[in-house]
């Protein structure tokens, strides 16, 4: 065997010999500022309510939400994405709690802003599914279909009340055609050019949302396949991306993250705006369940999935492990 050439002269294992060596040559690094914490706040409860399908995650009270926000801030997390869960009796066909200034989400935004000011980005889910009695992300027409343009009118109102409550960033997540442009216009009309829009650009109709439905006490009847994207498609996502950017999106997102790393990579390669990915409830629950049974090493599995999402091109990651991982990284 010759001393030079591809073998045995080339030995990539030299760069894997120790933790110090592997750390030095790592191509992808996680940082606390990469993370955004999704959090649920439930109206009318005096204690946090555990979510059975998501061990370790709760529906917060207003007070416990403020504590969670401070904890995330102290860990170095960049933002908190808020989801409001109104009392069941307040839900209706139009999702009225979503535009009520005293609706639970708007109250929670004010609470968290009062607690953290501008040190932690307060982000709000801009969608109707948590507030409608039918559980869809929009207004239904007389045939029971989601009415795109009637829904946009509701989104415009939601954007304004969320901005008034103090949201730094709004996240229109319903996958209605034209939603980013309508939200941007609505914010600008009230002089809130400072509020950023995180576009849910590629939000797929996924089986992995299951635990989230419990988290927001969803009343969904049927499915969302007529507005969320078909898991078989990627060119469609790039078309949605072009439209969102044209309509004024400040940031774009792919959801779910893990099953759609190829989509995430395509999106990240195509844009010059920040790209986020949402590691959703089912992704979280699978690892927690497998770890509980001893089938995977919990911490390693968490870090591996998050590293994969960042490696694929996400600048920011929404994950229910945000605070925990940020604390360990620090």
Per-residue pLDDT reduced to its tens digit, 52-102: 999 999 999 999 999 999 999 999 999 999 999 999 889 898 999 999 999
Alpha-carbon span 290 to 288, nearest angstrom: 6
Q: Which domain holds residue 97?
A: 30-329
- Residue 231 exposure: Cα atoms within 13 Å on the Cβ side: 11
pLDDT above 70 (res 243): yes
User: What is the number of domains present in the chain?
Assistant: 1
21 lies in some domain: no
5 lies in some domain: no
The pLDDT score that the predictor gives to residue 224 is 74
Q: What pLDDT band is residue 151 in, cutting at 50, 70 and 90?
A: very high
- Tokens linked to 87: 């009392």
The pLDDT score that the predictor gives to residue 89 is 86
Q: Which of the following is catalytic: 3, 221, 225, 255?
A: 255
The pLDDT score that the predictor gives to residue 215 is 64
The pLDDT score that the predictor gives to residue 164 is 98
CATH classification at residue 126 = 3.20.20.70
Exposed / middle / buried, residue 235 (Cβ in 10 Å: 0-12, 13-18, 19+) = exposed
pTM equals 0.93
Q: Is 281 annotated as a binding residue?
A: yes
Model pLDDT for residues 289-316, shown as the tens digit of each residue: 999 999 999 999 999 999 999 999 999 9
Mean pLDDT score of the chain, rounded to an integer?
93
Which range, of 62-71, 167-176, 212-221, 273-282, averages the lowest pLDDT?
212-221
The pLDDT score that the predictor gives to residue 263 is 97
The pLDDT score that the predictor gives to residue 102 is 96
Model pLDDT for residues 5-48, shown as the tens digit of each residue: 666 778 898 999 999 999 999 999 999 999 999 999 999 999 99
What is the mean pLDDT of the segment spanning 160-164?
98
pLDDT above 70 (res 50): yes
Token pair 């990284």: residue = 329
4 lies in some domain: no
Nearest in space to 137 (alpha carbons), one of 104, 174, 97, 165: 174
Whether a cis peptide bond, with omega within 30° of 0, leads into 8 is yes
Q: Is 239 annotated as a binding residue?
A: no
Active site residue 310: no
The pLDDT score that the predictor gives to residue 76 is 98
298 lies in some domain: yes
Q: What pLDDT band is residue 244 in, cutting at 50, 70 and 90?
A: very high
The pLDDT score that the predictor gives to residue 149 is 93
The pLDDT score that the predictor gives to residue 101 is 96
Which range, of 209-218, 237-246, 306-315, averages the lowest pLDDT?
209-218
Alpha-carbon span 19 to 11, nearest angstrom: 17
The pLDDT score that the predictor gives to residue 117 is 97
Q: Is 240 annotated as a binding residue?
A: yes
Token pair 């790592």: residue = 26
pLDDT above 70 (res 195): yes
Q: Which of the following is catalytic: 66, 91, 203, 310?
A: 203
155 vs 209, higher pLDDT: 155
pLDDT above 70 (res 206): yes
The pLDDT score that the predictor gives to residue 279 is 98
291 lies in some domain: yes
13 lies in some domain: no
189 lies in some domain: yes
- Tokens linked to 306: 């998050």
The pLDDT score that the predictor gives to residue 2 is 55
25 lies in some domain: no
Sign of CA dihedral 132, 136, 138, 143: negative
- Tokens linked to 294: 């001893």
Percent of the residues in the chain that have a pLDDT greater than 70, as a whole number: 95
Active site residue 255: yes
């Amino acid at each position: 065997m010759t001393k030079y050439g591809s073998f045995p002269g080339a030995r990539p294992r030299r760069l894997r010999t120790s933790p110090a060596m592997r750390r030095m040559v790592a191509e992808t690094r996680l940082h606390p500022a990469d993370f955004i914490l999704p959090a649920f706040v439930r109206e009318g409860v005096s204690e946090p309510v555990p979510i059975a399908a998501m061990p370790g995650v709760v529906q917060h009270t207003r007070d416990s939400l403020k504590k969670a926000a401070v904890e995330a801030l102290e860990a170095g997390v960049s933002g908190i994405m808020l989801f409001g869960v109104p009392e069941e009796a307040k839900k209706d066909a139009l999702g009225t709690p979503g535009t009520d200034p005293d609706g639970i989400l708007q109250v929670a935004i004010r609470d968290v802003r009062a607690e953290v000011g501008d040190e932690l980005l307060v982000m709000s889910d801009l969608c109707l599914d948590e507030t409608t009695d039918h559980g869809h992300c929009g207004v239904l027409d007389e045939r029971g279909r989601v009415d795109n343009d009637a829904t946009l009118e509701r989104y415009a109102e939601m954007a304004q009340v969320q901005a008034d409550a103090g949201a730094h960033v709004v996240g229109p997540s319903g996958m209605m055609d034209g939603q980013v442009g309508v939200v941007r216009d609505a914010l600008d009309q009230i002089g809130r050019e400072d509020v950023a829009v995180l576009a849910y650009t590629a939000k797929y109709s996924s089986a992995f949302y299951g635990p989230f439905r419990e988290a927001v006490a969803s009343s969904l009847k049927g499915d969302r396949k007529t507005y969320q994207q078909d898991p078989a498609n990627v060119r469609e996502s790039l078309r949605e991306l072009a439209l969102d950017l044209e309509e004024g999106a400040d940031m774009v997102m792919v959801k779910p993250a893990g099953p759609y790393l190829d989509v995430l990579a395509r999106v990240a390669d195509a844009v010059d705006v920040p790209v986020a990915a949402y590691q959703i409830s089912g992704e979280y629950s699978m690892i927690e369940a497998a770890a509980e049974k001893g089938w995977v090493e919990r911490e390693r599995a968490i870090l591996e999935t998050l590293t994969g999402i960042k490696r694929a091109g996400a600048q920011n990651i929404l994950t229910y492990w945000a605070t925990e991982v940020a604390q360990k990284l620090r």
